[in-house]
A and B are shown apart, each in its own frame.
Chain A
Amino acid sequence: MTSSTSTHGPPGTARPLLTTHSLTKSFGGFTALGPVDLSVAEGTVHALVGPNGAGKTTLFHLLTGYLRPTTGRIALAGRDGTGRPPERIARLGVARSFQVTSLFATVSAVEHVELALMSGSSLGRAFWRSDRQLARHRSPALDLLDRVGLADWAGEPAGRLPYGRGRALELALALALDPRLLLLDEPTAGMGVEDVERTVELIARIRHGRTVVLVEHNMSVVASLADRVTVLQRGRLLAEGAYDEVRADERVVEAYLGTGHD
């Protein structure tokens, strides 16, 4: 029995944490995605790549509950996640980051994390208590900020964080939910080289004990993080395998470069 965190193995060696069965999404008469059968093994980092318009974002929205599938099913940790709203998906132990940094401009970094930590309890419903009750989450929140390198920015309103720090706060928010499955939507989009390196290191650190699905354009990020890579093209699965296998696949080369190569 191989360890479930073993990398680069063939599919099926580890228990799948996330599977989709014949998942499709149509807008009007146009089929944007599918049918897609995807299986993400527990403990792996699984990258979704593909040219623009391949359906990565649509798939991401389906997995996180922001879109409802037209047909097909999604299973999360053995439970049916099809058509559940985002907050229910989150409560199944699935956290996501946003492609465009999506924070509350006037709220400080540490209060962001406190809000995320509070979602695990019923405190958020307490309208009769002081909001100072959130201080019970202060020290774990500061720990989380420290883990993503934001210890010095705890009191800063999110609107004043530099771009790369805002993305780090996005990750801290996702981590605050202590998810089994972490869905990252282009975590390095728009970053400079230095921030990309820092983010890759960070994801490499936080992946332990979790399963990560990563939508990413930057191939060097995919190469250094992903155990498995799924290539999408025009809404369908084109190829799947370890990074090196996929990169050598002629169909993939063709999809990215067009048919003009020899």
Chain B
Amino acid sequence: MILRRLAGAGGLPLLVLALGFALALPWLLYPPVATDILCWALFAVALDLLIGYAGLLSFGHAAFWGSSAYATGLIAIHTGLPFPVAVLGGAVLAAVLALPIGFLAVRRTGIYFAMVTLAFAQLVYFTANQWKDVTGGENGLQAIPRKLPGLDLDDAFTFYYAALPLVLAALFAAWRTVRSPFGRVVTAVRDNPDRTRALGYSADRYRLAAFTGSAFLTGVAGGLYAINHRFASLQEVYWTTSGKAVVMVLLGGIGTLWGAVVGAAALVRLEDWLATAGFEQTQVVTGTVFIAVVLLVRRGLWGTAAALARRAMEKTSTPRAELVDDTSIPRKLRA
């Protein structure tokens, strides 16, 4: 039952296919790149939780990705704890940081929310740059250890499979949150905050909770990224990192979760391919691809594919019966 719901419109085969793909990835790609895809996919899903379901466009999520990257690195360096513990520590710090930022930011929506989150992220960036004793400033945090008892994680191939369960658990948490009673309230707040308040729900509190949860999952992704690279730098808290995650979500299609995974995988793969081909101006190409997708397929790669598949299925099968049978709430279809 839960598997069927997990797979959503695509059914069980899609879920099996996705899992199979995740297991095969380090055979298909250079393993560190495969792990990068895991990290960015989780980052994009965490951001889609906020953009697609809470209706809040954060342009400052690098603050959570980056602060967790630093915290995870510091924990791993100074305590030598197993990497999942360090990553969770980093994620908790990201969530704690999200509370005051979110408290101030959720009072605004739309472009103002984006600007407030960007401003706070820049504040985090400058703090990281100045606080050289802790963050290493321009040099970053280096030689972050990768530890897990019983496994040799110096091998990037092994590390991918050690990181995969953590990412899958976090992705499941995101999926569960979206399809929970809490998720219903959050989407109601997104669609009509005044009406939802009249029912007794505090719009700001639900937005803050969604923001904090999103920051936590972003923190898991950022911490894992630092472990993967054994390095945490200012790049992780820079605004372009926030922008990259937003691009991934829009590329895949907002409000679908699957789309964020597809968008992240596509962008990381494209950048890696361009870099290995010796192409220097990767951002010109990715920017062009982004503009083309936004202009031509507004629902994003996944959103468009899902819409086409749905239309094809409705044509072949008996659509009425399926509609009546589906007791889950009609998910918001973004036009």
Contacts and interface: CB of A to CB of B under 8 A. Distances in A.
Interface of A: 64, 66, 85-87, 90-91, 95-96, 98, 102-108, 111, 115-116, 118-120, 123-131, 133-134, 155, 157, 173, 176-177
Contacts of B179: 130-131
B142 interface: no
Q: What's the interface size class on B, roughly?
A: 20 to 34
Contacts, number: 105
B17 interface: no
B180 interface: yes
Contact of A64 (B177, B182, B198): B198
A129 B192 contact: no
Contacts of A157: 330
B195 interface: yes
B131 to A, nearest CB: 33
Contacts of A173: 199
Q: Which secondary structure dominates where chain B touches chain A?
A: helix
Given A106-B332, A133-B181, A177 B213 contact: no
Interface string B168-211: 00000100110111111100100110110111111100100100
Nearest to B330: A106
A127 B202 contact: no
Interface of B: 2, 5, 173, 176-177, 179-185, 188, 191-192, 194-195, 197-203, 206, 209, 213, 324, 328-333
Given A86-B194, A108-B330, A111-B329, A131 B199 contact: no
A170 B179 CA distance: 25
A166 to B, nearest CB: 12
28 contacts: A86-B197, A86-B198, A87-B197, A87-B198, A87-B200, A90-B197, A98-B195, A104-B192, A106-B330, A106-B332, A106-B333, A107-B329, A108-B330, A111-B329, A115-B199, A120-B200, A125-B182, A125-B209, A127-B181, A128-B180, A130-B2, A130-B179, A131-B184, A133-B181, A134-B181, A173-B199, A176-B199, A177-B200
B197 A130 contact: no
Contact of B183 (A64, A86, A106, A127): A127
